[in-house]
Amino acid sequence: MAGRMQPVLAGVVTALVGFASSFTVVLAGLRAVGATERQAASGLLVLCVASGLCAAWLGLRHRIPLSMAWSTPGAALLVATGPVPGGWPVAVGAFLVSGALIVAAGLFPALGRAVAAIPKPVAGAMLAGVLLPLCTAPVRALVEVPLLAAPVVLSWLLLHRFARRWAVPGALVVAVVAIALTVPAGDTGGGLRPVVEVTAPQWSFSALVGLALPLFLVTMAAQNVPGAALLVGYGYRPPLGSVLRTTGLATLATAPAGGHAVNLAAISAALAAGPDAHPDPDRRWIASVTAGAGLALLGLGAGAVTTLVSWAPPVLIEAVAGLALLGALATALTSALAEPAAREAAVVTLVVTAAGVSLAGIGGAFWGLIAGCLMLLVFRRRTRPAATAPLPP
C-alpha cells in the first residue's frame, strides 16, 4: 500500500508547492497588463485547470511524469511590461499569438531549434532582467510595510534554511495571516466563487513584438527547454513535440479567459520525476497525473485567493512573488555570466531589459534581446592563429 500511495502523495505535494509558490506572480502579472480582479481570477482558474488537464492527458498517454504549470517567468514578464497600449483586450490577443507560436514550435521542430539557438548568455540575461525588478520587491516591502513584510521574509529565511521546499508556501501562509489581521471588520471582499470571464481579443503591432514574442521566447527558454532537460536528466525521453502542441492548444483555449501560457513545469517537475516520487521510474507518471488533478482542483479557489490578494498592499504580494523567483533569478544570472567572452553582451541585455523602457510601444524585454545579440555580432572576437616563431638560425 505504501508503494502505491508514494507517487500519489508526491503528486499532491507537487500540486500544492507549484500552486502556492507562484500564483501570486500570475495575479501580479495579469493585473499589471490591465486585468481587473475578476479577469485575473479567471486567468488563474483556467491556467490551473488547463495545466492540470494537460498533465493528466500527457501522463496517461506517454506514461512518463510530465508535470505542467503556467509560465512563471512569463508572468514576471507581464509585470515588467506593465500596461499595454489598448488595454487588457490587446494583452489577450498577445497571449493568443504566443500560444499559436508554441503550437508552431511543436509542429515545426526548426522553430524550436531556432529558439534554442539564441545564445544562452543573452537568453539568461533577458530572463534575469525580467525577474530583477520583481525580486527587489521584498526589500521595498520591508521599507514600506515593515510590520507586514518582516515576518514574511523571516519565515522564508528560516524555512529556506531548514525545509527549503516549503520556504515560499510557508512565507505565503504568514502573509495570509498578516493580511487577515489587517482586514477591516465586516469586509468580506468580492466574489469568492470560481469565475470565468471571457474577453474578445484585439491586436496591435507593438503588443505582438513587445509582448507576444518575448512571452513565447521566455516560456520556451525558461520553462519548456529546462523542463525537458530535467526529464532527460532523470532518464526519460520527453516527447517535446507532443508537449508543445498540447500546451500551445491549451494556451489558445485559455487566452480569452486570461490564461497567458501553459507549459512544462521546470521548478516543481523534480518533485514528480525524481526518486522521491517512486523508486521505480516507470511508476512516477502517477505523481504527475495526481499533481495535474490537484492543480485543477486548486484552481477552483482562484476567486478566493484573488480576493485575499486584493486586501493586501500590492508591494506585499509582490514581495512574496519576488521571494518565489529568487532561485530562478540566480539560475538566470549563472547562465548569463557563465561564458567570459559573452559577459558584456549579457550585461547589456540585463540592463536594457531591467530598465523597463518602452520604445515605439515595444517593451524592454525585446529590446534587451536585440541589444545583446547586436553586441555579440559587433564585438565578436575572432580567434586568430598565433604567429609562428622564427626558427633559430
Per residue in 57-82, pLDDT (tens digit) is: 999 999 999 999 999 889 988 988 88
The pLDDT score that the predictor gives to residue 267 is 63
Instruction: Give yes or no for residue 13 having a pLDDT over 60.
Output: yes
Contact 50, 253 (CB under 8 A): yes
The pLDDT value recorded for residue 381 is 55
Phi/psi zone of residue 34: left (φ > 0), alpha (ψ -120 to 50 degrees), beta? left
Check: pTM over 0.95? Answer yes or no: no
Q: Please tell me the predicted confidence (pLDDT) of residue 388.
A: 39
- Whether the CB-CB separation of 55 and 248 falls below 8 Å is answered with no
* pLDDT on residue 390: 42
